[in-house]
Every structure is written in structure tokens, then in C-alpha cells.
A and B are shown apart, each in its own frame.
Chain A
């Protein structure tokens, strides 16, 4: 009886799915159109959805600011953060998975407590700490506060716990230390965890805005997001250029997403199955 209504319903559902997908993709399309539209086609009523081509805004954008420098900063910041998050996360996650580590429960609780601290609430004291560490207006200052991600620690812990204990026993028989076991056996097996943590860190770090806005002043450590917001402030009237600049900022993260979207979605959804770490956690985008 239910099978009878199937076909029409399925077609209808597909149409709705297409509409929803279009709504979510439209702003990206709109930005692209805007960035290459001839000037006379931008401010028209009704809006022109398929204007012609004019690449002048892109030339203007590159002339207006040293984007290459800002991109380099963002790449260095994101790259270093990923590496540090992987190191601290794998080490701590491994320790928490060790049955021999006394104090495991306490440390786990301490890490869990970090998730209860909303980043917004410690923005000001973090600035004070950064001031006293002399890392204001630097790339280090944009990496260090994010070098540990409790969520990453939990992902690694969860993974290492799934490794059979025979592996550890065998390694011990071979005379391997915990360090060799972690380095040579466990970590190479942890590729999925490494991938998940890298992706989540990449996306959150590339989207970082408020912290870099606060701690950078000149252009010597300015990342691309902050540069974009200044560009918006000073060139708020140059809409086509603004659209081009925002596409410039979006491109790396969108590319990575398109290449890895299955991983991405699984990484995020993974939180649902892991009740321990699904306690209120730092949202992906600050």
C-alpha cells in the first residue's frame, strides 16, 4: 500500500531537495556573478542573474592590498596549528588510553572542564596573557592559543582505545617502549583520526576571525580574514571588488571541503555517537 504512492512522492522529494540545495548554494553563485559582472549590470532592478564578463574587479583587488602576504600568514598559521594540535592531541589522547596511566580519570576530567569554558568569556584575559608573552601582533600569537584542542584529544583517545591490547603486548615482548609503540605502531594506524583532526582544525583555523582581529594591528601578521574585513571597511562601496576578495578568501576552504566532504561530514557527525565528547564543546566556528 505504501509502495504505491512511492514514485510521485519520491519525485516531489527530489524537487524539494533540489530547491533546498539551491538556496544554500545561491549566495556563493551570487558572489561569483557579482565579481565578474560589468558595472552597469550590478545595480539593476530586478537583479540580473546572468550578466556578462568583466575581470577588472579582480585586477583591482590584487592591486589594492598585498593578498599574497596575507595568504602566506593564513597558511602558516593554519599549517602550524594543525601540526601542533596533532602532536598535543595524539600524545594526550594516547596517555588517556593507557590503562597503566594512573591519574587518567583526573586528567580526563580536567580536559572535560576546558570544554565548559566558552572562548568568548576568556577573550580578554587571553589578550592579557598574550600581551605578557609578547605574542601580540605575531603569527605565534594566532597559533599557540589553538595548539590544543580537547576535542582532538578525545578523538585520539577514542581511537587508541580501539586498538587491541595484544598489539601493545606484542610490542612489549619485542622490548619496545611506550614511545616506540606510539610512534611506530599506533600512530601510523591512526590515519582516520589524524585526518579528522586535521580537517576540523583546518576549517576552524581558516575561519578564525575575532582573535586575529584583536591581536593583530599592522600588516606584519595580518591573516586573510582580517584583511578582508578591513577591505570591506575601506572599500565598502566597491561591491564587485568586495565580492572578488571574499571569493579569494573562500576558495581554499571550499576546495578542501569539496575534496574531502565525506570525511568532513562524518567527522562532524561523529560527535553524536561519542557521548563523552558530546558535552558542550567548542563550536567549530568561533
Chain B
């Protein structure tokens, strides 16, 4: 570090031709330096990402003990058989997850696009009002889900909560929300929509800002109406962003944890209730490994989750690219 305090740009140095030995040295340094610079990042990623990605597969074939391979017992595919056994609850967690993802993704796209369209002025020339309202929509996304979920638990209180007060106002019968095995997951969805929508809106706004004004004007000059302009000019421009939102929302939804944990009493045995109605695969994985301490079994769940996410991303990309136009 000492050396760097001396900054060569301050003095003008005579341009002496460097010695050839020094040149060779410098060339070697150049070749090595790239590797030196990426080394810290690669080392940490190896330790906490690449290594674990391999380790998780190996672990899933063991009755794993924290001591390591020598303390663990090889059980072959036993954990995978167990996953398929309906009693284990894994298949149920998968169906809860798909239900959750299946609703969250289209809702996020529809609402995100709708709100972005409402704020589309912010994409081109943001006024203070638009900047403020856009910030309001984005704010929940950067807050810790665990903290805001606590507020939502209160909003969904069956007796005094605002959710039921609103329903009563419209003369709709009140719901049990978090104590009901039918409505607990929708309550979680509402919280997470509120929490994550700002992200989608900002992505769509960025997409909207990429649409050249001439394209829209040309459509209008051709006599296209508002809906037609939106459908045939705006949407095609937004298709790459939409594909990205689909993939990111799916990944996010498959891994949702903090909000479900906080809303369904995670402190009392890991959450996911009532009656496993909110036990997504992420919650199931957490409980297997860190409530019941079945690390090997949890690793098998992880491998399946891993494969599913990879598969879904690839399928979405393949199918999505077909309908995507890059301008």
C-alpha cells in the first residue's frame, strides 16, 4: 500500500525505454494480474456457491451428520423415495408452491404492467409528483419482509383487522385469513404482492422508457386507438422486460420465506400452517433441515427445488424467446 501513496501522475517522468527484462516481467504480471484480481471473488464463490452446489447433491444420498462424510451414513436414493411418499408432505408442499407461483406470477405481471402504465409519465419526464408516487410504490420492496409482514398480520386479524373491516364495508362476509387453511395463503400472497410489486413496476417503467416516442406517434397517426397502440406497439416493445419479470418473479416466489415465516407463526415450529396450507417447498426445506435436523433429507429437497427452478427458467426462456421481439 505504501507504494501507492506515490502517485506518478504528479511528476513528469522522462520516458526512458524500459529494459527488456522489465518488459517480460510486466507482461507476465499482466497475464497473472487478471487471475489475481478475480481470485478473491472466485475463492469465496467456490466456498459458498459452487462447492455447496455440488455438496448438496452428495449430501442428499447420505443420512448426513454435521461432522462430515466420515460421520455420515450412505443411504442411496432413500431420501428421494421418501419425497415421493405422500405422508412426507413434500408433494403437498410442491402443490402449495405451484398454486402460489401460479397466482403470483400473472398477478405481478398484470398489476405491475397496469401500475407502470399509470405512471408511464415517469418513464420519460419525471415530475416531482411522479417521482414521489413511484417512490411510494417502490418503497415496500426495499424494506425487510419480516418487519412489514408483522404489520400485515395485524391487518389480517379476523376481528379487528383492516382487511375484514374493508370486506364488511362492502357487505362481504369476514374471512378467517391467517387462521383459515383456505385463506392463509391468499393473505400471504397479498402481502408479497404489495412487497414486491414496486420492483416489477420499475422494470416495466424502464422498459417503457425504451419505447421511442415516434413509434407511438406513428401509430396514432395511422389512426390506432389507445388500446390498439398499447396492444400492437407498446406490448411488443415490453416483451423482453416481461420475459425477465416472469423469470425473476418465479424465482422469487419459489424461494419466498421470511414473509410466510412471519405470517404463519414460524417461531412456533417453523410456520407453514394452518394445516400445512402455507408450507411451500422453501418452508418445507427449512423445517426439514433446521427444525427436524434432517440435513440429508433437506438436501434432497434442495436438489429437487434446484432442478425445478433450473427447468422452469429454461422452459420460460425457450418459450418466452419465441414470443419476444427485441427492437
Contacts and interface: CB of A to CB of B under 8 A. Distances in A.
A243 B142 CA distance: 18
Contacts, number: 343
Given A91-B40, A175-B8, A124 B148 contact: no
A191 B256 CA distance: 33
Contacts of A225: 144, 146-147
A177 B37 contact: no
Contacts of A269: 202-203, 205-206
B206 A272 contact: yes
A268 B136 contact: no
A243 B133 contact: no
A209 B202 CA distance: 24
Interface of A, secondary structure class, is helix
Interface in A201-238: 203, 206-207, 209-210, 213-214, 225, 228-230, 232-234, 236
B87 interface: no
Interface string B71-85: 000000000000000
Contact of A176 (B8, B131, B160): B8
Given A88-B41, A207-B145, A250-B143, A271 B34 contact: no
Interface stretch (B101-109, B181-189, B301-309): B301-309
Interface in B9-55: 9, 13, 15, 26, 29-31, 33-35, 37-38, 40-42, 44-45, 47-53, 55
Nearest to A275: B240
Contact of B52 (A43, A88, A129, A213): A129
B175 to A, nearest CB: 15
Contact of B51 (A31, A129, A176, A278): A129
B61 interface: no
Given A128-B55, A278-B244, A232 B150 contact: yes
A123 B8 CA distance: 47
A284 interface: yes
B255 A253 contact: no
A261 interface: yes
A284 B141 CA distance: 9
B100 interface: no
Interface in A147-179: 147-148, 150, 153, 171, 173-179
Contact of A246 (B33, B148, B206, B265): B148
A209 B162 contact: no
Interface centre among A176, A270, A280 (most CB of B within 10 A): A280
A179 B244 CA distance: 37
Given A91-B37, A148-B44, A114 B305 contact: no
Interface centre among A110, A120, A258, A270 (most CB of B within 10 A): A120
A125 interface: yes
A126 B48 contact: yes
Given A147-B44, A206-B144, A184 B133 contact: no
A233 B38 CA distance: 43
Interface string B285-305: 110011000010011001101
B308 to A, nearest CB: 9
Given A118-B306, A121-B53, A230-B267, A92 B202 contact: no
Contacts of B55: 125, 128-129
A155 to B, nearest CB: 13
B205 A34 contact: no
Contacts of B35: 95, 101, 103
Interface string B108-132: 0000000100110000000001111
A88 B43 CA distance: 10
A253 B252 contact: no
Contact of A120 (B53, B64, B151, B254): B254
A30 interface: yes
Contacts of B198: 24
Interface of A: 2, 13-14, 16-18, 20-25, 27-28, 30-31, 34, 42-47, 87-89, 91-92, 94-96, 98, 100-104, 107, 110-111, 113-114, 116-129, 131-133, 144-145, 147-148, 150, 153, 171, 173-180, 183-185, 203, 206-207, 209-210, 213-214, 225, 228-230, 232-234, 236, 239, 242-243, 246, 249-250, 253-254, 257-258, 261-262, 264-265, 268-273, 275, 278, 280-281, 283-286
Which 7 pairs show the lowest CB-CB distances between chains A and B? A233-B267, A101-B34, A125-B52, A269-B206, A95-B37, A121-B306, A21-B136
Given A30-B155, A228-B150, A273-B210, 15 more contacts: A24-B197, A92-B37, A92-B42, A101-B30, A118-B251, A124-B56, A128-B64, A148-B40, A171-B9, A207-B144, A209-B258, A233-B266, A269-B203, A283-B251, A286-B257
11 contacts: A27-B140, A88-B41, A92-B38, A94-B37, A124-B56, A144-B44, A147-B44, A261-B135, A272-B203, A275-B240, A283-B251
